[in-house]
Amino acid sequence: MSAAIVTGGSRGIGRGIVLALANAGHDVVINYAANQTAAEEVAAEVEKTGAKAAVVRADIADAADRERLVAAAYDALGPIDLLVNNAGVAPSVRADILEAGEESFDRLVGINLKGPYFLTQLVARRMIEHGTPGRIVTISSMSAYTASVNRGDYCVTKAGLSMMTKLFAARLAEHGITVFEIRPGIVATDMTGAVREKYDRLILEQGITPIRRWGRPDDVGRAVVAVAQGLFPFSTGQVIDVDGGFHLRTL
């Protein structure tokens, strides 16, 4: 049975990914930063499927925590053959880029970009050391290419994840490690709850997405499972859009 680390796995998209992997037969390390209760609830759901679950608290923006997360994952489940970089945060306040401050920028870069970058480095080294033909998936966002001027820091970090995917894909291919970016669109989670009415209007009335519904965490989970099961053996560095067709340009 294969083993995965999912960062930010206690809620939202991360929870959907964890449960999809477990239902497909993968053991999972559930990383969380603050909500231990939610993480343990997800772990209980994983164990109902017959898969193993381990819960590890770690702030991926912190170097020592990243080291501890990887060590705990290998101790709990053995060699890891899938890393899912899912953890991420939105700005606490949506501020126009002409007014936004450095504190929010630094926070988002640390969690959304620096953390995944160096966690991927750690896990990739372990995969190479163990000779594991692994897979690395980074969950970015349609904000990687869609400009939102009231949350520029978020968009910049997501665009950075796209280049991170390309860099690691190019570097790790010789070791049999493939790297993918999954780019969700508008997904119903706690993060999007505050703008529910706005996106209901954009999706259902204005048709901003050709598939006229909200995305669900399990939509992203299914895409991760497809990668985890090796269904793209001759692909790496690929962007997989899970966005209801938002990325299409139509007339």
- Give the mean pLDDT of 15-37: 97
Q: Does the pLDDT of residue 21 top 90, yes or no?
A: yes
Largest CA distance in the chain: 54
CATH architecture of 3-242: 3-Layer(aba) Sandwich (3.40)
Active-site residue numbers? Answer: 154
Work out the number of other CB atoms within 10 angstroms of the CB of residue 195. Answer: 12
Residue 227's pLDDT is what?
Answer: 98
Confidence band of 193 (pLDDT split at 50, 70, 90): low
pLDDT of residue 192: 67
Residue 92 has pLDDT above 70, yes or no: yes
Residue of higher predicted confidence among 76 and 251? 76
200's CB contacts (< 8 A; 6+ apart) are none
Domain boundaries, the chain: 3-242
pLDDT of residue 113: 98
**CB-based contacts of 108, cutoff 8 Å, min separation 6:** 89, 90, 91, 153, 154, 156, 157
Mean pLDDT for the stretch of residues 88-97: 94
CA 130 from chain centre, in angstroms, equals 24
In contact, 74 and 129? CB cutoff 8 Å: no
Strand pairing category for 27-32 and 3-6 = parallel
Query: What pLDDT is stored for residue 197 in this prediction?
Result: 83
Q: What confidence tens digit (pLDDT) does each residue in 130-160 have?
A: 998 999 999 999 999 999 999 999 999 999 9
Residue 251 is predicted with a pLDDT of 76
The pTM of this model reads 0.95
Task: Return the pLDDT at 205.
Answer: 83
Listed residue (18, 17, 13) closest to 55, CA to CA: 18
pLDDT score of 109 more than 70: yes
pLDDT higher than threshold 80 for residue 194: no
pLDDT digits (tens, 9 = 90+) for 159-172: 999 999 999 999 99
Tens-digit pLDDT profile for residues 196-223: 788 888 888 888 898 999 999 999 999 9
